[in-house]
Structure 1
Amino acid sequence: MSSDYGLLQDLKVLWRSGALTFVLARRDVAARYAGSAGGVLWAYAPPLLTVACYFLVFDVVFGMRLGDKAPVERVGTYLIVGMLPWMAFCDALSRAATSLVDAGGLLQKNALPPVVFPARSVLASAAVFAPLMLTLVPAYLPWHRFSAALLALPALVVLQWLLCFVLGYLVAIFTAAMRDAAHLLGLALSLGVFLSPVLFPVALFPETWRWVLWINPMTGPILGYQSVLLKGEWPSAAVWMALLLWMGLAAALLEVAVRRSREQLVDWL
């Protein structure tokens, strides 16, 4: 293997292996629910039930309301917009983190490109959550009123999944080298929801500590979804800047990880 093999070469291989990646992703989704009567429909049940519970408990039963600084009054209505993308992020990263380890036997016996397996996991997760995220458009019609800002929504969704792939592939390499990485990721995701605008509006967070929220890579996308769906406004420049900065940082780290792990990766598995 050439010593200058890096992320760019991996992406070229992934592009050429696009058909294989799609097939593996489809089989991954189907295999999870093989033998069940509901089949792949079970993949959509947990997130749908979760958002339904938020609406029922916070908006219908308790009738909880946010303060004047919030983009919307109803607590459940606010939570759903942030929690659904957050669940998608957690699902994609968790599956991608163990994708190389799970495919260890296959990679040891076949000359398959490792990059295909994190991509497969992220794509399989996107197949479930991306449609659910887009269904928020008709559900939140009274708030965005088909504003032109909806044109930003597909870009936010695509950028989120690209970010999931880059971060997921990076964590997958770390997990191959050190299995503790997957457990650390689970801990970070459990705590990360509290350092994001998922559970509360940014305006309610102490102003001197708001910079902490930007440590979370999902703060930008979530603020973007809230702007589009709750206010019918185009996401601010800070949202796009945060997304691009996180993707650039993750890509730079992934470049180093790919180069340094190339010769030993299969042995680690």
Structure 2
Amino acid sequence: MNLALLLQFTKQDFVDRYSGSVLGGLWAFIHPLVMIFIFVVIFANVMGTRLPGISSVYSYGIYLVAGLLPWMAFANTINRCATVFLDKRNIIGKVRVSLHFLPLYVVISEALTFLIAYMIFMLFLVFTGAMPGQVLIIIPFVFLVQQVLALGLGLIFGVLNVFLRDIKEMVTVLMTFWFWLTPIVWVMDIVPPVVQQIQQHVNPAFLFVDAYHQIMVHGHLPDIGGLMKLVLIGHAVLLLAYLMLRWLEKDIRDFL
């Protein structure tokens, strides 16, 4: 697959997403704007939610949005890659498209959505005086690492989903459980130490969510060791996905 075709798939993905709406692509800005306003402003001024040990009225809202936006990109990438071969079966049958590179348009599309949402989020941080400093430079690396893992998992589920259509529903259930088992809505301070250890050693999503929290909430550099661990996990999963796809590519094309 060449770059022009990949970009065309990405562009078409945005067009299809807002097809038929009057405002069109403006919804890519409206959705995160409303969500961030509710979580940062409403939670702070109406519900009065605070983070333990932080006096800022916006602390919990910032904590919530800082973890929720990357999680949405992560989960959407996995969910959409899990169905990408079925969604594009007509194109795969007519054009000699590389199955290895086809899901990349999903990654690019979700990256653009994340970029729009996070830029809006940062505007809120500027207005509330909670903008982090130079540690923001780490965010592109954290996002890249998490999306490598998301692409790998999505490809594995995508391959399996061709042969067993229940995989799509199973992935939806899995991501729901995974969301609530990751400290995005709740904070680590409220759980026992054994649960905190499990998060650090068993849950790869914690490694990138905690990195965003450290950067956006506390203004600290994230745990580099944790990020390197995530790099290894993500690339191992992506390699496994590549080998599965290479091994089963002929069968996938026959099933489609």
TM-score over 0.5 for the pair: yes
Match in the other structure for 1:220: 207
Answer whether contact 2:100 2:245 (CA < 8 A) is retained.
Answer: no
Answer whether contact 2:153 2:237 (CA < 8 A) is retained.
Answer: yes
Superposition deviation, residue 240 in structure 1: 0.9
2:219 aligns with one of 209, 232, 235 = 232
In structure 2, the CA distance between the partners of 1:33 and 1:143, relative to structure 1 (3 Å rule), is closer
In structure 2, the CA distance between the partners of 1:241 and 1:202, relative to structure 1 (3 Å rule), is farther
Superposition deviation, residue 52 in structure 1: 2.0
1:112 partnered with 2:97: yes
In 2, the alpha carbon distance for the partners of 1:163 and 1:20 equals: 24
Superposition deviation, residue 82 in structure 1: 0.8
Match in the other structure for 2:230: 243
In 2, the alpha carbon distance for the partners of 1:143 and 1:56 equals: 13
In 2, the alpha carbon distance for the partners of 1:209 and 1:81 equals: 22
In structure 2, stretches of 5+ residues that fail to align are none
SS of match in other structure, 1:114: coil
TM-score by length of 2: 0.88
Superposition deviation, residue 164 in structure 1: 2.4
Alignment of 1:73-222 (within 5 A): 74-141=59-126, 142-145=129-132, 147-214=133-200, 215-222=202-209
In 2, the alpha carbon distance for the partners of 1:221 and 1:191 equals: 17
Aligned partner letter, 1:167? L
Instruction: Summarize deviations over 1:141-195 as a string: whole Å, max 9, x none.
Output: 53454x2212211211222333322222222112112111111110111111111
In structure 1, stretches of 5+ residues that fail to align are 1-13
Match in the other structure for 1:255: 242
Aligned partner letter, 1:95? R
Match in the other structure for 2:47: 62
Answer whether contact 2:80 2:106 (CA < 8 A) is retained.
Answer: yes
Match in the other structure for 1:33: 18
**Count of aligned pairs between the two proteins:** 252
In 2, the alpha carbon distance for the partners of 1:196 and 1:99 equals: 26
Answer whether contact 1:51 1:84 (CA < 8 A) is retained.
Answer: no
Superposition deviation, residue 64 in structure 1: 1.6
Answer whether contact 1:58 1:76 (CA < 8 A) is retained.
Answer: yes
In 2, the alpha carbon distance for the partners of 1:32 and 1:253 equals: 30
SS of match in other structure, 1:231: coil
Superposition deviation, residue 90 in structure 1: 1.7
1:267 partnered with 2:254: yes
Match in the other structure for 1:10: none
SS of match in other structure, 1:113: coil
Instruction: Summarize deviations over 1:104-162 as a string: whole Å, max 9, x none.
Output: 122122221123331112212222122312443443353454x2212211211222333
TM-score by length of 1: 0.84
Aligned partner letter, 2:28? A
| % identity of equivalent residues | 24
Give the root-mean-square deviation of aligned CA atoms: 2.2
Answer whether contact 2:29 2:116 (CA < 8 A) is retained.
Answer: no
